[in-house]
Amino acid sequence: MVLIAASPVSAAGQAKVTGQQAKQTVHKLPAVIDEMRQHPGSHTDVELQTDRWRVQVWSKQGSLLAEVFIAADRGDVLEQYTGYKAAWGMARGRPGAFGHDATALWVWLPLVGLFLLPFLPRGRPRLRHIDLAAVAGLSVSIAFFNRGEIELSTPLLYPPMLWLLGRMLWRGFRGSPLRKPDTSLLSGRLLLLGTVFLIGFRIAFIAANGNVIDVGDASVVGARLLADGKPVYNHFPERIVRGDTYGPVTYELYAPFAALLGGTTENHNEVPAKVAAIIFDLLAMALLTGAAYRLRGPPLALLTAWFWVTCPFTLYVAMCSANDALPAALIALALLASTLAAGRGALARGGTVMLTALSKMVGLVLIPLFSRVRGSGGRGALIGYTAGALLMAALILTPFVSDLPAVWERTLGYQDGRGAPFSAWGLYPIPELLRQLWMGGVVAFAASLAFFPRSGEARTVPRVAALAAAVLIAAELSAVYWFYTYIVWFLPAIALAVLPDWTLRVDEPVRQEAAAAQ
């Protein structure tokens, strides 16, 4: 069966090659022949675009087997994709498809250098240096993804992720063995000036060069539906019908941007999505810096601000106008709440962790961990934590109370069954039972964090941050559909777990002034 469609603009192009001829060309391609032989009963759709024919071969079950583009004037094969590259356009390696110039080498490599610069070892590298190098090392995987080489990008994701998982577990349960922190290569003055400059650069760069992927658009669409008093889940427009896969908090916090900046369900929402991405990026950095300041004062605050503003993955998220800086900001807020005194701290921790969980459902794994931190108190603090979580859940879910089954089905239900070649589970024929066992282990690990480490004195903020990073990474590694914007979810936790191993270098004039004052 052949379906041929031509748009009014395309018809004016007066293609010399007919749709039937384009179809015949495609059916002679060896890769397409193999797909059709493996899937009897497949059918072909042909559509005339501006100057080319798009030919798609579908299985009886509705899976896209092949997509081929044929020049409308000469009949040449312009592009051909089979297998997962037919179904996943984002696996084809289109330059600038995500974040425009954020992934250009002239942007990415200098950021990696700046990211590592203050923390470079003066002598032999130690494990803490490798921890930060592992974060930067995720760049290798995304480089191959940008080239469409998924067979390399996916396996190369796992060495740094597994290193970080193991190291965060070690830090969480054993703590840092350092008696004296390292001294940064850059002084506080240089870090401050550089951070201010880079903040201005990234705001201007995002505004001028960023793009808006479907994630940002969907967040604004859901916010617009919510602001208009309409159902959100299972009611998205056809153009982005699966955009309702995020937690209620995402749509609620995007609502002001949709209301003030002209968010719509009809068209692509570039302005509100970009502005929201910038605000949530800056908010994540501010909350992370605030948590660091509460923990160790200005030195750690400056180091964490530098960590965030130079990390290329945080820029990548903002340049895509994705919503992933929002859960990162909420995780930073939960860590900030963990620095507060027992009474109000317990209530704040419960509320902020529930906010995180209801923005991206992966945050559910953090709820047991944050129930106890050092100095949080006993049973009364646990009651306060539970009350804060329940009150926040009630507040967030009230607008969706008549639609709670749809919230579950369209978020966790959809994500759990979503396939993609960007994880080992989706790229390789790994038995589903193994993934289910890993997921069961993640759930058991997350639940155990309510009790281990047992000693309240061992549950310092850096160690809680390390365990938060570990359980988030473990949860991400269980997903079939995984993407690089998810990296920022665990970055605030890694920053507060690792960066206390450093202190600032003091400039000589400042040191002399301090000595004179003494």
> DSSP for 118-156?
GG--SSS--HHHHHHHHHHHHHHHHHHHHTT-HHHHHHH
Say whether both 391 and 312 belong to one domain.
Answer: yes
- Is 7 part of any domain? yes
Amino acid at 204: A
Q: Which of 20, 76, 9, 8 is nearest to 46 (CA)?
A: 20
pLDDT tens digits, residue range 142-199? 999 999 999 999 999 999 999 999 999 999 999 876 667 899 999 999 999 999 999 9
Structure tokens belonging to residue 444: 């058991």
Q: What per-residue confidence (pLDDT) applies to 177?
A: 64
- Is 95 part of any domain? no
Domain count, the chain: 2
Q: How far apart, in whole angstroms, are the C-alpha atoms of residue 261 and residue 226?
A: 15
Q: How far apart, in whole angstroms, are the C-alpha atoms of residue 242 and residue 451?
A: 38
CB 461 within 8 A of CB 340: no
CB 283 within 8 A of CB 329: yes
Q: What domain range includes position 41?
A: 2-87
Say whether both 47 and 196 belong to one domain.
Answer: no
Q: Is the pTM of this model over 0.85?
A: yes
* Extended strands (E) in 120-263: 182-187
Find the mean pLDDT for residues 19-26: 93
Please tell me whether residue 46 adopts helix, strand or coil conformation.
strand
pLDDT tens digits, residue range 281-331? 999 999 999 999 999 999 999 999 999 999 999 999 999 999 999 999 999
Say whether both 12 and 81 belong to one domain.
Answer: yes
- Is 365 part of any domain? yes
200 pLDDT above the threshold of 90: yes
- Is 479 part of any domain? yes
Residue 505 β-bridge partners: 187
Give the percent of the chain with pLDDT over 90.
Answer: 77
Say whether both 109 and 66 belong to one domain.
Answer: no
Say whether both 79 and 168 belong to one domain.
Answer: no
Say whether both 112 and 57 belong to one domain.
Answer: no
Say whether both 76 and 210 belong to one domain.
Answer: no
Say whether both 205 and 83 belong to one domain.
Answer: no
Say whether both 373 and 465 belong to one domain.
Answer: yes
Q: Which residue has the higher pLDDT, 137 or 516?
A: 137
Q: What per-residue confidence (pLDDT) applies to 377?
A: 66
11 pLDDT above the threshold of 50: no
- Phi first, then psi: give them for residue 116, nearest 5 degrees: -85, -20
Report CA-CA distances (Å) from 469 to 9, 107, 163, 255, 415.
51, 27, 12, 29, 21
3 pLDDT above the threshold of 70: no
Q: What per-residue confidence (pLDDT) applies to 515?
A: 47
